[in-house]
A = this chain, B = another copy of it.
Amino acid sequence: MHGSGRVKIVDVAAAAGVSVTTVSHVISGRRPVSAATRARVEDAVRRLGYQADPSARGLRTQRTDTVGLVVPDITNPFNTELAAGVQAIAYARGLLTVVCEAPMTDGPRLPAVLRQLTARRLDGIVLGRFGAQRADLDLIAGSGARLVRLGTRIADGPGDVVRGAETEGMRDLVRYLVRERGYRRIGFIGGEAGVEPGGERYEGYRQALAEAGRTVPEDLTVWTGFTREGGRAGAALLLDATEPPDAVVCANDLIAIGALDVARERGFDVPGRLAVTGYDDIDAASMVSPALTTVVNPAREIGRSAARLLIDRLDGDKGPAREVVLTHQVVRRASA
């Protein structure tokens, strides 16, 4: 409780009557110290409220004890849950988490953000779902930071991967629409074209239609953005089609919520005249009405797994790249 910010290791050493080396050893435990000395040092540390300066420590150890999470949009509840998951595991390990936003709009901000982060010498980076270029990934890997990618394939670049079984998830959802609900004309609203989860999910949609012997209605596919606004725009297009769909499958919940807005405005009864489905099962999915039929994407668990992978690597795991695939589950609510 004395001076809280200024006390250095030499102060502790003086107070305990030992050398700084010994203080360092009792703190790190890297060499044995006699019980009596250890007690004196620990007492001094407590009394003075000593906390090692992270810059000095980092300079010597070449570690920052900090990991980064990069996502396209902090505001998206999926990413928020993700962050909560990463943070929980990292915090327990004494790692600080910085979450950075690299908007997909107005050009590629990703490289700039990544440069900022690598300049910080982070120990590890979790790269959210992006249309990341190979150069971006190599930049991270080359900086010495461990890398965990989310929602991509292991073969696409360096680092470990965590992803939900998105193709399968979407396939199961569309199967359900086709087989158990009997929808005939099923449209698709995607996010930004080329951004990660979009492709997988679209693929699942196509698979389900294909296995049912349907042709994919290309005229009912539209790519916008992973937001409520995007959903509005996409749904407006689809519902104005000469032969509008009786179901709209959206690449995520926010898009679906936007689609619901449009359906309501135009007086389309959901699910009577139009089904709307989402993906992710964010909190809001069960708040809207009709509640959204969607697929749970275990965001928090994905974050946790990613953090665990990172920590394993930081602890010296030299094994080959790993890929963690988390299960999916269709949740059936009122919107379909």
A residues adjacent to B (C-beta < 8 A): 4-5, 51-59, 64, 66, 74-75, 77, 80-81, 83-84, 87-88, 91, 94, 96-101, 115-116, 118-121, 139, 142-144, 228, 257, 283-284, 287-289
Contacts and interface: CB of A to CB of B under 8 A. Distances in A.
Contact of A119 (B51, B80, B115, B116): B51
Contact of A284 (B5, B81, B142, B283): B283
B100 A54 contact: no
A53 B87 CA distance: 24
A38 to B, nearest CB: 21
Nearest to A76: B80
A99 B90 CA distance: 13
A55 B64 contact: yes
Contacts of A96: 98, 116, 120
Contacts of A83: 74, 99
14 contacts: A4-B143, A5-B121, A5-B143, A51-B118, A51-B119, A53-B121, A54-B58, A54-B64, A55-B121, A58-B58, A74-B83, A83-B99, A87-B100, A96-B116
A75 B84 contact: yes
B55 A5 contact: no
A191 B66 CA distance: 33
Nearest to A99: B99
Give the residue among A84, A97, A100, A287 with the most B Cβ atoms within 10 A: A287
Contact of A55 (B51, B59, B87, B100): B59
A54 B287 contact: no
A32 to B, nearest CB: 26
Contact of A288 (B66, B142, B143, B287): B287
A269 to B, nearest CB: 14
A5 to B, nearest CB: 4
A228 B144 contact: no
Nearest to A145: B5
B4 A142 contact: yes
Given A100-B87, A288-B289, A4 B228 contact: no
Contacts of A257: 287
